Each structure stands twice: as structure tokens, then as C-alpha cells.
Amino acid sequence: MGIAALHPSYRAIIRANQSTQTDMLITRRLEFDAGHRIPNHNSQCKHLHGHRYAIEITLSGDVITNEGLSEQGMVMDFTDVKRIAKEKLVDAWDHAFLVYRGDKPVCDFLASLPNHKTVILNVVPTAENLAQAAFDILDPAYQDTYGNHLRIERVRLYETPNNWADCVRG
């Protein structure tokens, strides 16, 4: 049954629902490979190993309505979400070893390897800490170009397909 067939009062309700206040969120997913270890973990994670990590970056903002803009109808062009994430974070972490500054044996070992790609962190590289670190790096990187209140709302960091951490704007 189409809207035209409904009683007029029902049509009014449908129109009202269509103008309900909503927020728009967009998410871009990227993947990267990295090594890490959790030095004090009481099980497997204390060993040097790697993951196929995935990061999902969620942005909020008003949908851009400027007539004729390439971004008309978007919160941000997904291509730009990806480009910024790569420039600021993913290219630095991909195929790197993520090591806690306090993990001295591994820091010393990695420093002994010529030109090794190492990312030294102030925190133990758990999914939670990596999600927080990524959020802190990316938060200033997404600039509101069109006055549409663009900002990062959440970074979801997958250590495995079944294990992830969400760092959400408080």
C-alpha cells in the first residue's frame, strides 16, 4: 500500500518521522600487518608475533549540501578518510614492529637491526592501547573543511577478527 492510499492523519505521521533529528556517522576500514608482544602477559602474547590488524575510523558530521561540490551529499569523501589515515598512521604502522618503550630487551634487539621499521610506544601494545594511540594521532588530522562539524567519534582496532577494542570520544 502506498502512502497516497493512507488516511491523511497517517500521512502526516510518516512525514513527521521522516524529518526526525538524526546524526550521520561514516566509517572507513583499513588493514595493516604489524608485529608486537605483550611483555608481561602470562600466556602466548609474551612471544614476538604479528597480526593482520584492521582499523575502522568513524567520523561524524553534517552531510555537505553545497551545490556542485564534489563532496555534496557526503560527510567526507571516503577517499579522503583513507588518505589521511594512511598518511598519519597506517603507513607508519604497516610492516612495523610495535614495541613498548619499557620492553628493553626487544627495543635493544630492534635497534640492533639496520633500518628496521620500529614504532616505539609509551604503552604496552594491546588492542586497547593501540586504539587509544590511533585515536590521539588521528583526532587532529581530520579537519572540518566545510563547516559541517566533522570530527572523529570512534576508532575500532581489531587485533584479530574476533578481538577488538573501541576508543570512543568521551
Point out the residues that are catalytic: 45, 95, 159
DSSP string, 114-156: TT--EEEESS---HHHHHHHHHHHHGGGS--SSSS--EEEEEE
Rg for the chain (alpha carbons), in Å?
Answer: 22
Asked if residues 70 and 146 have their Cβ atoms less than 8 Å apart, the reply is: no
Please tell me the distance from the alpha carbon of residue 94 to that of residue 42, in angstroms, as a whole number.
Answer: 27
Coil, strand or helix: which one is 15?
Answer: helix
